[in-house]
Amino acid sequence: MSVALLISVFVVASCGLAYELVAGALSSYLLGDSVTQFSTIIGTYLFAMGIGSYLSRFVVKGLVARFIQVELLVGLVGGFSAVLLFMVFAWVGGPFKLVLYSLVLLTGTLVGLEIPLVMRILRQHYGLKDLVSQVLTFDYLGALAVSMAFPLLLAPHLGLIRTSLLFGLMNALVAAWAIWLFRNQLAGIKALAAQCFLVTALLFSGMLGAERLTSLAEENLYADEIIYTETTPYQRIVLTRWKDDIRLFLNGNLQFSSRDEYRYHEALVHPALQAIKQPRRALVLGGGDGLAIREILKYPEIEHITLVDLDPHMTDLFKRLPMLRALNQDALLSPKVSIVNADGFQWLDKSNDFYDFIVVDFPDPTNFMLGKLYTNTFYRLLEKHLSQHGLAVIQATSPLYARKSFWCINQTLQSVGLKTAPYHALVPSFGEWGYIIAGHRPYTPPESYNSDLRFVNASLNPVLFQFPPDMAPVETEINRLNNQVLVHYYESEWKHQAP
């Protein structure tokens, strides 16, 4: 019996940490700034566990029955936490943080009750020294197991909703196991068994309907019909459609609208590439949709393009789905294109190649993982791979809505010795959007462009490279790897913008 209870400690610890990780991941996905979300949720959760441990002293009778009921409550609350949070964010919005931290407090308090109750139940089998060492050993092993499994297996393959429901079921199974172990000692065993059956049935039903629950939440998050969803180890991919408008969302953030993406990508590629004499080799960092590559392939003198994108699911999707292949004109299937699925920072650090044209098309710096790709450390690597006559172009968020963020990126590029030429373009889906051309030599706008472009032409140059007063340069700090000031600028500026 004692061994069975110690195994239960392992499971209980796994479940407790899993709920904490689900809450942190989900809040990062919905609110951004992963460091802040995980830090505050972990702190609140540990505080709540302390409350639970303190409250356990007031449980004096029926320890096993109380332990079983706590397990069922943890399974029910923690198991359905992701579902509830998705629903609140999608349908209500405003009280999301209140619900989030209320759930974290409640779950943490219940989890804090578990281990003290188990230790008191096990006290009749072990001395104090062995009891503490055995329980804590299994507790830490359970935490280790789930901390490894969560990012590698659970979140990418099951998703957050199924993961939380799975661990809820595990709590319910621990309760059922305890009922069986103590079947000859429990008073009111039929009532406990009925409670266990009800909670297990609810959680199992939730597992069966998890995809539908996710769809219900996302149908309210996105205005248009959802036509494709996928959770990868790196992000949540959602495609929506309204009439002929296809939109791509990554972790809830719009990446493009098919109605006006040509404006974004023409502005991203052509002002720099048209100004390079005899470009041969191009590098695209990010841009797994192949839309920037589509524009680069309009230059027959380009001999080879290397695309580096972290997520193989993303590049595969845009090579596979007919509607997306039509959008990028089969750019990812071109014999000139080599696709590398790797972290852009690490890949660039290991590469020895030089490029005449580099496109840096990463998502906005919404968190520190992305923010490192906008630091002077990263731009120093970028500078080393740029040929002397070459140019790089960086998407740099909006100079109107995130003015300090835009000029921080410009300042950071200059800090590594690159000459910069900031510019902007109106993309209706995003508003005024900013880009920065960087090179070893000062940039001169081209006098002409390819005739088949729909947006960019020579007469547009004065508009692109001039900034009105509300987008004019402002003083900022340099974005360094150890401070990531850009992420703070970005979060502060965008949270004041209307959705």
Provide the annotated active-site residues: 361
What six digits make up the tokens of 97? 């943080």
> Helices 403-415 and 376-384: crossing angle, nearest 10°?
50
Work out the number of other CB atoms within 10 angstroms of the CB of residue 51: 14
Compute the half-sphere exposure of residue 259: CA atoms within 13 Å on the CB side of its CA: 11
Report the C-alpha dihedral over residues 202, 205, 206, 207, rounded to 10 degrees. 130
How far apart CA 66 and CA 53 sit, in angstroms, is: 14
Written as one string, the DSSP assignment of 330-379 is TGGG-TTEEEE-S-HHHHHHH----EEEEEEEPPP--SHHHHGGGSHHHH
* CB-count burial class (<10 Å; 0-12, 13-18, 19+) for 3: exposed
How far apart CA 69 and CA 72 sit, in angstroms, is: 5
How far apart CA 184 and CA 186 sit, in angstroms, is: 6
What six digits make up the tokens of 273? 């590439």
> Which residue in the block uniquely carries the two structure tokens 């960092």?
285
Q: CA 349: distance to chain centroid?
A: 23
DSSP lists the bridge partners of residue 425 as: 433
Q: Comparing C-alpha atoms, which of 238, 237, 203 is closest to residue 83?
A: 203
How far apart CA 47 and CA 307 sit, in angstroms, is: 45
Instruction: Identify the three-state secondary structure at position 433.
Output: strand
Q: Comparing C-alpha atoms, which of 274, 276, 231 is closest to residue 249?
A: 231
